[in-house]
Structure 1
Amino acid sequence: MRHNRLYRVKHVREDGWLSELVSMNYEDEPFNCIHTYLVSVNPGKVRANHYHKIKEEWITITAGKIALFLKDVISGDVDKIIMDTKSEKHEIIYIPPFVAHAVQNISNTKASLIAFSKNPEDKEDTIPYEVSNDPIWTSID
């Protein structure tokens, strides 16, 4: 049997893990035209809390239930989206530049999501922003 294996680094932290799946950072065809990574979020933990000046992202849930917190850092507009794999509809959410975002696992089991972007990870374009701790969320449900 002939087959190929692609190996990826698994970046493990106390709040979960992240692994790039498809990325132009790798030479493997046909997966070198978009940056995609799988993110795991442990129960009750929050990931991200940042925004990008250039990078656009699309995210979709793959396991569990998360709250996605979004805040436009220019206009101040906010949104909170609950994503649950048990929902009837499966959503892919677009996150444009200058929209701070964070995901919180609101289930008792691990949650995971996939993020897609045309740009690979760039630490210079990832600006920390504590969107999940904003008091506005107590009035939005």
Structure 2
Amino acid sequence: MIDGVNTKNLKFLPDERGRLMEIMRNDEKIFDNFGQVYLTTNNPGVVKAWHYHKIQTDFVCCVKGQIKVVLYDTRENSDTYREVNEFHIGDFNPMLIAIPPGVYHGWKCISNDEALIISIPTEPYNYEKPDEYRLPPDAPDIPYKWIMDSGKIHG
């Protein structure tokens, strides 16, 4: 696994009213810092990639649907420099992924319906100077291909 990436398997606690799933607590080893919490959605077959941060750690959890999360380590001083990790998370594999600064990441919705993703970055979004550095999904610098059933790459 890429150095600095952490995962936490999640579980549902069901009862007659429904179910509850704790995603992250501030008394766990995986917890770093709190910046904000937001919900993003992903339509089926769509890829949202690539970006990384210089300051913040991203915590990502898919709470409805399924996504394939891909990470690429571009930190030259890392023991896992140029390593690629792939995770399938969501309804059938509830998991929290901590993505450290300097690691490119993106995901593709692999479920038939829209996926709902909770993101908990360690820093609040800075509208005037975003800590976000992007590449297109088909960036030649990243050794991963987001090929769809149609053979097209969606970004």
The answer to whether TM tops 0.5 is: yes
Of 66-75 and 119-128, more deviation after overlay is shown by 119-128
1:48 to partner: Cα distance: 4.1
Aligned residues: 104
Q: For 1:132 and 1:93, locate their aligned partners in 2 and report how far apart those are by CA, in whole Å.
A: 23
Could you say if the C-alpha distance between residues 120 and 137 of structure 1 is closer, same or farther in structure 2, counting changes exceeding 3 Å? same
Aligned partner letter, 1:69: V
1:131 to partner: Cα distance: 5.7
C-alpha contact 1:102 1:132 (8 A) present in aligned 2 = no
The within-5 A match list for 1:14-29 is none
Aligned partner letter, 1:102: G
Q: For 1:76 and 1:131, locate their aligned partners in 2 and report how far apart those are by CA, in whole Å.
A: 17
Name stretches of at least 5 consecutive residues in structure 2 with no aligned partner: 1-33, 76-80, 147-155
Q: For 2:105 and 2:144, locate their aligned partners in 1 and report how far apart those are by CA, in whole Å.
A: 14
Q: 1:103 aligns with which of 95, 107, 112?
A: 107
C-alpha contact 1:51 1:97 (8 A) present in aligned 2 = yes
1:128 aligns with 2:134: yes
The within-5 A match list for 1:86-101 is 86-87=92-93, 90-101=94-105
Runs of 4+ with >4 A deviation = 131-135
Match of residue 80 from structure 1: 86
Could you say if the C-alpha distance between residues 95 and 131 of structure 1 is closer, same or farther in structure 2, counting changes exceeding 3 Å? farther
Please report the TM-score for the alignment, with normalisation by the length of structure 1.
0.65
C-alpha contact 2:48 2:137 (8 A) present in aligned 1 = no
Match of residue 115 from structure 1: 119
Could you say if the C-alpha distance between residues 100 and 132 of structure 1 is closer, same or farther in structure 2, counting changes exceeding 3 Å? farther
Whichever structure has more helix as a proportion of its residues is 1
Q: For 1:124 and 1:117, locate their aligned partners in 2 and report how far apart those are by CA, in whole Å.
A: 12
Could you say if the C-alpha distance between residues 132 and 61 of structure 1 is closer, same or farther in structure 2, counting changes exceeding 3 Å? farther
Please report the TM-score for the alignment, with normalisation by the length of structure 2.
0.60
1:81 to partner: Cα distance: 0.4
Q: For 2:62 and 2:144, locate their aligned partners in 1 and report how far apart those are by CA, in whole Å.
A: 24
C-alpha contact 2:56 2:122 (8 A) present in aligned 1 = yes
Aligned partner letter, 2:114: K
The within-5 A match list for 1:17-56 is 34-56=35-57
Could you say if the C-alpha distance between residues 116 and 132 of structure 1 is closer, same or farther in structure 2, counting changes exceeding 3 Å? farther
Q: Tell me the percent identity.
A: 31
Other structure's SS at 2:130 match: helix
1:115 to partner: Cα distance: 0.6
1:130 to partner: Cα distance: 3.8
